[in-house]
Amino acid sequence: MKYVLATITLGVVLAFACLHGIGAEKGGRRFRRPTAGHRTSRPVPTPWLGYGHDDAPQIRGATYLKTPEQIRAMSSLTLSYPKANGLRIVATGHSWMKPGYNTLPKIAQAAGLKQQLRMHYSGGETGGLRMMWERENGILSYKGKAKTVCMPAIATGKWDVMIWGCYTNDRPTYYFAWIDFCMKFNPKMEFYVFNAWPQWADGFGDGDRTPRIENYRAKAASMDKTFKKLIADIDKRYPNKVHVLPTCDAMMAALELYFQGKLPGMKALNRRTERKSPAIWSDGGHLGAGMDRLEGYVFYATLYQKSPELIKTKLKFHNDELDKIFRKIAWQAVINNPLSDVTDKNKNGIGDAIE
């Protein structure tokens, strides 16, 4: 599946800041090249003490060090669901993941599946793997302030999948912490992480006053290289256990069509700067109106290894033609990215592993 890595610097970004600059001069003002709203990670010591240092004073009382009974007692929420025909999913994430989490259950229902999803959401870096682990354990950044949503449920062992949203400067250790904990209770669980997407500002190269598709391609290629290294390092410990939800690939397919004038009904790249909607991005980083459906289709196609094109039930959407395109490019994104571990050699819309 993959390649080699040490500590990573994800060229991905989960950003909430406004993007700076506009695509043309106004009132004689000098043009400023837009910059992506990246947020760098908070400084993290090496080694990170959040996991694998059970005797460290900094993690005394961590949730993962308690007994299964004690962990389950930390939540008053329903901790498990009966096995149905859909996957039972626990998930953490931030605002770039939420559109997919919101649309996945509706897509699964249209496919005749009962989607059971338990999500712990928080904005920005606080929704990344490391910060969510620290929060659920009540350690380090959240010392003495544990908020347990996923861990008591995981401790029942009655879950099939865990999904995460990556963040800048993720380390494999963050993934190992979650995987080790999950597999302690259910060795058969599988794991998924999304590979984000370029931001609007990434379309501007030196001297560009308008975004160009070539710049988005270059950014996507850089992100792909980073993820290959990340997954390769995780594979050394857990071969083929972590799979990528190729949202970046689907986003790039949508951008390619937009630049060709073949994305019906899509009026702009960035709603905030162009003041038009629907747009690819709402603010240059977050998805624009309707784009949540594309992310949901990528989630569905990867998790269930089936093309959304096979779903017969019509899903309510503002543009049926666009919805059809989204279903197609989501499946192509999934089967053409080897990190998803989904293939479709006979091109019938069903993953080879489940036929």
> Residue 219 above 60 pLDDT?
yes
Residues 6+ apart with CB under 8 A from 148: 63, 71, 74, 75, 136
- Per-residue confidence (pLDDT) for residue 17, from 0 to 100: 36
CA nearest neighbour of 180 among 45, 78, 50, 42? 50
> Residue 74 above 60 pLDDT?
yes
- Per-residue confidence (pLDDT) for residue 23, from 0 to 100: 40
Q: Which tokens sit at 108?
A: 């699964």
- Per-residue confidence (pLDDT) for residue 183, from 0 to 100: 98
> Residue 3 above 50 pLDDT?
no
**pLDDT tens digits, 39-54:** 667 889 999 999 999 9
Burial of 60 (0-12, 13-18, 19+ CB in 10 A): exposed
Higher local confidence (pLDDT), 242 or 80? 242
CA distance 62 to 187: 22
- Per-residue confidence (pLDDT) for residue 136, from 0 to 100: 98
Q: What residue spans define the domains of the chain?
A: 195-354
- Per-residue confidence (pLDDT) for residue 4, from 0 to 100: 35
pTM of the model: 0.91
> Residue 157 above 50 pLDDT?
yes
Q: Which residues pair with 91 in a beta bridge?
A: 119, 163
- Per-residue confidence (pLDDT) for residue 16, from 0 to 100: 36
**pLDDT tens digits, 183-214:** 999 999 999 999 999 999 999 999 999 999 99
Task: Label residue 286 by pLDDT band (50, 70, 90).
Answer: very high
